[in-house]
């Protein structure tokens, strides 16, 4: 039976506000919608471009380097096909993922990569929980090294804040939309990019109340180092999300010192170690677990891996040596140590469901199959 056919009827799940507290945590996986062609990508990157274009051209950069990452069970899917989203939802549900956090691309009212979400909203299917994360960055040619060449710019204004929340309000009314204690959950990837974050969040809250949405639950994503400098409440947010990897705590790249370069028998003399920043996954995980707790509400996050050499010929970041066992151990320790902050504040994020060009995916690949998803379920269930 295909994964799409396994998804039948409504999801039998515990209510997020169950007074008996039967649901201790909800795991939300970041979801990339760039697996279907759009006119803008055709113009910028070539006809028919999707994320698979990057994925399939990746090459190993040093001995033992796992590239390319190629899909298994779901294949090279096209998100224009509803069957793909049914299959993804069925797979996520079976292995303990509560919902998807779709990246949302809004540029002064212009939306990009919106077809998968629009299909979900219009059709009412699959019946799988979701929320949105506004990926509010300029789109540049960073993938091919030309970071200063802007393809589409992110601009901010009070009028755009109003237009944005008015569009979002319609999405928040969807019965599948994830909430925290009855408040729609909305994430912002780069809150520090706002010229006046407090004005934006105040505008959103006031307009949402006027539109009958009620209160919002806003989270700033601690994506890059400058997003970790201020507590979320100073910018008008309710909490933060600990994006992984935490780039400030990766340690020293391996193969960069003189002794390592001399250890040719271990392959550390490979030029790939000089072209890219390579870190040991297990060492990174231990470093993440040793970090001091913060004084504000911050939801934890775990990453199965990271390797964006599919996008970058030089200057990529690679976490090498990830296995389902190491990932599962990290997630299990996070689950065991996490106490929800309050009603509905029970979220753990997974980065990511399908970031294939960043070597960062729970979806099965040809090397590991379903092993990362099985590790996810085991960690959540305490097996």
- Check if the beta carbon of residue 197 is closer than 8 Å to that of residue 191: yes
Distance between CA 348 and CA 334 in Å, rounded? 9
297 pLDDT exceeds 90? yes
Distance between CA 85 and CA 118 in Å, rounded? 12
The DSSP secondary structure of 64-96, one letter per residue, reads T------B-TT-S--TTSHHHHHHHHHHHHHTT
For residue range 113-160, list pLDDT tens digits in order: 999 999 999 999 999 999 999 999 999 887 654 557 899 999 999 999
Task: Count how many residues are written for the chain.
Answer: 383
pLDDT of 21 reads 38
Question: What token pair was written down for 242?
Answer: 């600990």
Task: List the Cα angle 35/40/45 in 5-degree steps.
Answer: 75
Candidates 285, 272, 371; CA nearest to 58 is 272
Mean pLDDT computed over every residue of the chain: 91
Provide the 8-state DSSP code for 234.
G
Domain boundaries, the chain: 23-252+296-306+323-381
Candidates 69, 130, 75, 70; CA nearest to 103 is 130
**pLDDT-based confidence at 216, cuts 50/70/90?**
very high
Residue spans of beta strands (DSSP E) within 216-355: 217-221, 239-241, 277-280, 298-299, 301-302, 306-307, 317-320, 347-350, 354-355
Torsion sign across C-alpha atoms 227, 108, 155, 113: positive
Beta-carbon count within 10 A of 303 CB: 28
For residue range 248-269, list pLDDT tens digits in order: 999 899 977 544 544 444 556 6
Residues 6+ apart with CB under 8 A from 125: 82, 86
Distance between CA 237 and CA 231 in Å, rounded? 9
CB-based burial label for 123 (10 Å; 0-12, 13-18, 19+): exposed
Task: Tell whether domain 23-252+296-306+323-381 is in CATH 3.90.1010.20.
Answer: no
Task: List the Cα angle 241/244/250 in 5-degree steps.
Answer: 130
Distance between CA 72 and CA 91 in Å, rounded? 13
Whole-prediction pTM = 0.93
pLDDT of 175 reads 98
């Amino acid at each position: 039976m295909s994964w799409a056919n396994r998804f039948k009827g409504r999801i039998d799940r515990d209510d997020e506000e169950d007074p008996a507290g039967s649901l201790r945590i909800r795991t939300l996986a970041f979801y990339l919608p760039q697996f279907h062609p759009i006119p803008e990508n055709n113009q910028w990157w070539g006809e028919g471009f999707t994320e698979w274009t990057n994925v399939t051209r990746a090459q190993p950069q040093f001995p033992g380097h796992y590239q390319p990452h190629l899909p298994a069970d779901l294949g090279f899917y096209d998100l224009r096909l509803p069957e793909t989203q049914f299959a993804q939802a069925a797979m996520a549900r079976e292995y303990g993922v509560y919902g998807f956090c779709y990246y949302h691309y809004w540029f002064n009212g212009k939306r990009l990569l919106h077809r998968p979400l629009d299909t979900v909203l219009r059709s009412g299917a699959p019946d799988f929980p979701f929320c949105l994360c506004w990926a509010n960055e300029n789109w540049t040619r960073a993938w091919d090294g030309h970071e200063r060449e802007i393809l589409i710019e992110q601009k901010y204004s009070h009028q755009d804040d109003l237009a944005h929340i008015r569009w979002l309000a319609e999405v928040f009314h969807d019965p599948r939309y994830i909430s925290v204690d009855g408040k729609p959950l909305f994430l912002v990837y780069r809150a520090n990019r706002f010229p006046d974050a407090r004005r934006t969040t105040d505008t959103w809250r006031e307009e949402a109340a006027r539109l009958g949405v009620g209160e919002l639950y806003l989270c700033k994503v601690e994506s890059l180092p400058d997003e970790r400098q201020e507590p979320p409440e100073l910018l008008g947010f309710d909490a933060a999300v600990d994006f992984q990897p935490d780039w400030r705590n990766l340690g020293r790249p391996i193969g960069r010192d003189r002794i390592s370069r001399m250890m040719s028998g271990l392959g550390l003399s490979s030029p790939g170690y000089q072209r890219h920043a390579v870190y040991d996954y297990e060492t990174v995980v231990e470093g993440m677990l040793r970090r001091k707790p913060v004084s504000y509400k911050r939801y934890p996050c775990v990453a199965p891996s990271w390797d964006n050499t599919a996008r970058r010929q030089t200057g990529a970041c690679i976490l090498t040596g990830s296995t389902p066992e190491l990932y599962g151990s990290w997630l299990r320790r996070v689950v065991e140590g996490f106490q929800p902050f309050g009603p509905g504040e029970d979220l753990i994020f997974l980065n990511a469901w399908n970031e294939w060009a960043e070597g960062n995916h729970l979806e099965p690949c040809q090397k590991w199959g379903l092993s990362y998803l099985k590790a996810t379920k085991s960690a959540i269930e305490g097996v």
